[in-house]
Structure 1
Amino acid sequence: MAMFLLYAPILASFLCSLYFFHRRRSCIHPLLRDYFILGMLPPLLFNLWRIHDFITDVLKKNGGTGEFKGPWFTKMNYFLTCDSLNVQHMLSKRFDNYIKGPAFREIFEPFGDGVVTADSETWKYFRTVLHSLIRQRRFEVFVDQTVQKKVHTSLLPILDHAEQEGRVVDLQDIFNRFTFDNMCSTIVGHDPQCLSLDFPEVAIERAFNESEESIFYRHIVPRSVWRFQKWLQIGQEKKMTEACRTFDEFIYSRIASKREEMSKCSREEMEEAPFDLVSALMMTEERGRVHDDKFLRDAAFNFFVAGRETMTSALTWLFWLIGNDPLVEGKIVEEIKEKFRNEKEVIGMEEVKKLVYLHGALCEALRLFPPVPIERKQAVKADTLPSGHRVNGNTMIMFSLYAMGRCEEIWGKDCMEFKPERWISERGEIVYAPPYKFIAFNAGPRICLGKDLAFLQMKMVAAAILRSYRFKVVEGHVATPSHSIVLLMNNGLKATITKRQLL
């Protein structure tokens, strides 16, 4: 016992020396103060309520790039950057060296083996199939008709009802319900009618939201913790399991229903039927490649999340921004008034291509508030980034899209301003920005296939609303990002509505 007491301080001192030696070697460019065994996690948790602004501030103070170390003995070690040249290097020039990886697929478990999480040949096949479907004129026409129908039969009547009753509305909830119904119709040919006057709670819609919150949770706690919770089926992991069960039951039931419908149809009848995604994928089976239900489920889920979240997030932040900038709102309305003098004129996909200023406003909303604020990659082999930083093989890398939209080096000293004019040339045309700078739709080989289609749909919705209504954000409403992998508002977007007279 005496010997133990004699050598215990020496042993403790030796272990501490080893620890600090390890931290100095493994953390060459630290972003934050290292809190002994807890690493850099304490300040991150303390600033969780403003996590994206906190990461932006930290990156700016460290030249845009550095390392984050989690608690000792955990795998929460990341290399963070908002340097556009680093991003271009990883997403384009050295694309094959930066993959999603098995850790990504484990965290994003609900996505299965879809286009968002897959690597290599699986990803290439998924992308090729989806690309061929999205590019078809028949699919674009179907989406155009689906959006127009939802706008005129659900969205505008609900806004009319709210205006007549003088009710405060939650625009984010309305956009969320609209895009959920729209994507369900587009992907599985079924409208769950979430956007109804009684605002029903739909289990499948709630399941998608809870799964996204659980994925965010997996990013901020040690892997051992959430895996233990998953094993015990407690806390956020229990919600994840229940959410997966709910949306799997929904998607698989729609797939089974589609297969039954198509088994009773002739080839000619199938060609005339609505061109939703699952039906289209099943029709490709007729041409030689059989897609099992798991493939269809993963394709539907990935396409669903990608399409739904972009629209909900972008429209919510757009209306927040214009609600706080009457000058920009006035210019958008003036453009709508000039291009569509007849109030009964249909605003479809072809028509909204004329709305250049609205396009610029949407680009600004996506720049300042990208729907997916953080992207994650894993290095296959050691590499040196354009910034001069060295990354080792298997290094987990995160780049902050949110911080990139606030970088003076990319957007100039007015980067914090909501300025649609930055996207419009002197000739009144839309200005092109390289994807590795305007990163909301990703860049390189993984750039979003539905980018153009998403812009057209968002412009249709925004134009239809702003043409008829004025919105005023409720006084004192604070817009804070929710704890999710998607950049939504924590408490929604509360606003009052009044009718607008364009003519």
Structure 2
Amino acid sequence: MEIFRPSTPELLIAILCFLVFLVHRFRKTRGELTKWPIVGMLPGLAVNLHRLHDLATEILVHNGCSYLFIGPWFSGMRLLITCDPANVNHVFNANFHNYPKGHEFSEIFDLLGDGIFNADDESWRSQRKKAQLLIAQPRFRGFAARCIRDKVDNSLLPLLQKVSEQGKIVDLQDIFLRLSFDITCSMVFGEDSASLNPNFTVVLFSKAMDDAMNVIMLRHAFPATWWKLMRRLNVGFEKRLAAARLVIDEFIAESISKRKQESYGAGAESAGGGGDSLLKAYIECAEAGDENATNKFLRDTTLSLMLAGRDTIGVALAWFFYLLCKNPNVEERLLKELRRGEAGEGVYLHAALCEALRLYPSVPFEAKGVAAEDTLPSGDTVKPGMQVLFSTYTMGRLEGVWGKDCREFLPERWITEQERLRHEPAYKFMSFNCGPRTCLGKELAFAELKATAAAVVKQFRMEIVEGHVVEPKLSIILQMRNGLKVRVKKRVNY
């Protein structure tokens, strides 16, 4: 009997058809990821990676707010993904000590060394106490306010004025990211990176930070053994991270050297003098015998602070103005408040910013390790070696938490009948984390958001370019994949 042996073209066509079938199946999956032998759920994740946050939302809503993701065999990749506020309260508050960042987290974010972002236990408590003290000092608060005001008034507004006069299409997200990068650089390092300029020049430190965060995001989606091998061989996306790290370390080393020289008197005549930056404050504390000022400690600490403040504000502003463009009624009410001169205490401005952060949190997920076996309020059991991943993006889209209008932009949900701001618990509104690790810079963040938003809305309105698609990008920070392309229009008779 003759045995059929397919020719090479037939075999290739068969393989291609099979792959097309698999991709189609994975892309159409709603509420479930197929668990395959050997590779686990990784294929379904891989083909949906471009829409990760919406995929998580579909799966979590379909599965009662919690879902166990299982990776390839022997990879140790077991993630409990959840958006249940009761689980958030349990992990971040009630049983906080059982859920450290963990070894796996610090390995993924190894770029940050031993800084506060990675630290646990006594190291974390010590670093947080010191950072909280320095950030709360009136000297630093005044310096931060000057940095914000100077950059908004002398860089951002003139740039938008010029763009509006020229009628150019610009990427508003890029502008806000440059703004927040410059402000954070000034506050943390005492350096004005001057990335917000009419020529939109590339700042190597900023680009390196972007490259590093993109790679760290990819590490979350691959088994640790895979990316660690790539890191050892210095290939693939790990090669990009290694190159980015060199640029980051060089910039920080130069900043530390400048601030130390100024502190020791050698640079007293230099321009700027580092202002009252956090780096300068840490060095002064070390001189007073309060802290170790090794270059590694200063490097890890300032890089963690830089990460916390740089892109989070920029993307929050981008999503805020995107939502204003889509909701002119909200913009009009905000203008009325600004015309009354209530921006400083503006209830509606604050409410609108909270609502934007609810729908588009700058950090779309949070991760925790597990120290000891525990049962969550949802009934899910977690064990050491697992990670618990919290989708803050999905939390803002839960009908059971925010109502049937949860996907609508309604600042009014944050305002009481007495026209006061409504408080929502952090385990429900997690944009600034929750519990003992609540963001230390929350007040500074709102100060920067309010000052920028009020100044821009007063003078300009934005028109999104017709046909421009706005959607989340695959990143640690919730950036827009295609930016926010707009035309800037000068307001008349504000």
Answer yes or no: same fold by TM over 0.5: yes
Q: Which stretch of the first structure deviates more once superposed, 33-42 or 371-380?
A: 33-42
1:56 lines up with 2:57 in the alignment: yes
Alignment of 1:144-159 (within 5 A): 144-159=145-160
- Please report the TM-score for the alignment, with normalisation by the length of structure 1: 0.89
Q: Does 1:420 align with 2:420?
A: no
For residue 62 of structure 2, what is the amino acid of its counterpart?
K
Q: Distance in 2 between matches of 1:76 and 1:476?
A: 39
- Equivalent residue number for residue 8 of structure 2: none
For 2:493 and 2:74, how far apart are their aligned partners in 1?
Answer: 63
Mapped to 2, the partners of 1:273 and 1:493 lie a distance apart of 33
Report the counterpart of residue 139 of structure 2 in structure 1: 138
Contact 2:214 2:476 in 1 (8 A): yes
How many angstroms does 1:287 deviate by? 2.5
Could you tell me how far 1:502 is from its partner in structure 2? Answer: 4.2
Counterpart in the other structure of 1:300 = 302
- The 1-side partners of 2:202 and 2:384 are apart by 46
Matching residue of 2:430: 439
How big is the shift at 1:274?
2.4
Aligned residue in 1 for 2:21: none
Q: How does 1:202-221 map to 2 (within 5 A)?
A: 202-221=203-222
Q: Return the alpha-carbon distance in structure 1 between the equivalents of residues 73 and 253 of structure 2.
A: 42
Contact residue 349 and residue 450 of structure 2 kept, 8 A: yes
Tell me what 1:10 maps to: none
Cα deviation per residue 1:47-98 (whole Å; 9 max; x = unaligned)?
A: 2221101111101111011211111121221111110000110000000000
Q: CA deviation at 1:222?
A: 1.9
3-state SS in 2 of match to 1:36: coil
Q: Separation in 1 of the partners of 2:191 and 2:262?
A: 13
Match of 1:27 in 2: none
Give the superposition deviation at 1:129.
Answer: 0.5
| Matched-pair contact (CA < 8 Å) for 1:353–1:456 | no
Instruction: Report SS of the residue matched to 2:38.
Output: helix
The structural deviation recorded for 1:226 is 1.2
**Cα distance, 1:192 vs structure 2:** 1.4
AA at the equivalent of 2:96 = F
| Structure 2: tracts of 5 or more residues without a match | 1-30
Pairing 1:59-208 to 2, within 5 Å after superposition: 59-208=60-209
In the alignment, what sits opposite 2:328?
326
Distance in 2, matches of 1:297 and 1:243, equals: 15
| Aligned mates of 2:114, 2:344 — CA distance in 1 | 35
**C-alpha contact (below 8 Å) 1:310/1:371 kept by paired residues:** yes
Distance 1:174 1:446 in 2: 30
Q: Counterpart of 2:314? A: 312
- State how far apart, in whole Å, the 2-side matches of 1:499 and 1:266 are: 43
CA distance in 2, matches of 1:448, 1:386: 25
Distance in 1 between the 2:282 and 2:292 partners? 9
Contact 1:482 1:489 in 2 (8 A): yes
Q: Is the 8 A contact 1:339 1:354 kept in 2?
A: no
Taking the aligned partners of 2:184 and 2:76, their CA distance within structure 1 comes to: 36
Measure the CA separation in 2 of the matches of 1:471 and 1:101: 43
- Structure 1: distance between partners of 2:493 and 2:297: 48
The Cα of 1:185 is off from its aligned counterpart by: 0.7
Distance 1:466 1:422 in 2: 21
Letter of the aligned partner of 1:429 in structure 2? R
- Residues 318, 362 of structure 1: 8 Å contact kept: yes
Cross-structure match for 2:371: 380
Give me the whole-angstrom Cα distance separating, in 1, the residues matched to 2:365 and 2:229. Answer: 25
Structure-2 separation of matches of 1:392 and 1:263: 50
Letter of the 1:302 counterpart: S
Deviation at 1:394, TM superposition (A): 2.6
Q: 1:207, CA displacement in angstroms? A: 0.2
Residues 245-256 of structure 1 correspond to what in structure 2 (within 5 A)?
Answer: 245-256=246-257
Residue-pair matches, total: 460
Report what 2:388 is aligned to: 397
Other structure's SS at 1:416 match: coil
> How much does 1:284 deviate?
0.9
Please give the per-residue CA displacement for 1:395-453, whole angstroms capped at 9, x wherever unaligned: 21111111111111211111111110011112221111100100010001000011111
Instruction: Give the corresponding residue for 2:24.
Output: none
1:259 to partner: Cα distance: 0.5
Amino acid in the other structure paired with 1:45: A
> What is the SS of the residue equivalent to 1:99?
coil
Superposition RMSD on alpha carbons, in Å? 1.7
Measure, in 1, the Cα distance between the counterparts of 2:475 and 2:440: 23
Partner amino acid, structure 1, of 2:488: I
Q: Which residue of structure 1 aligns with residue 467 of structure 2?
A: 476
Q: Which ranges of 4 or more aligned residues in structure 1 deviate by more than 3 Å?
A: none
One-letter amino acid of the structure 2 residue matched with residue 252 of structure 1 = A
Does 2:55 align with 1:33? no
Structure 1 residue 214, shift from structure 2 partner: 0.3
| 1:502/1:425 CA distance change after superposition, 3 Å | farther
Q: With structure 2 as the length reference, what TM-score do the two structures score?
A: 0.91
The answer for the alignment partner of 2:489 in structure 1 is 498
Is the 1:337–1:502 contact (alpha carbons within 8 Å) kept by the matching residues of 2? no
User: Which SS does the other structure have where 2:292 is aligned?
Assistant: coil
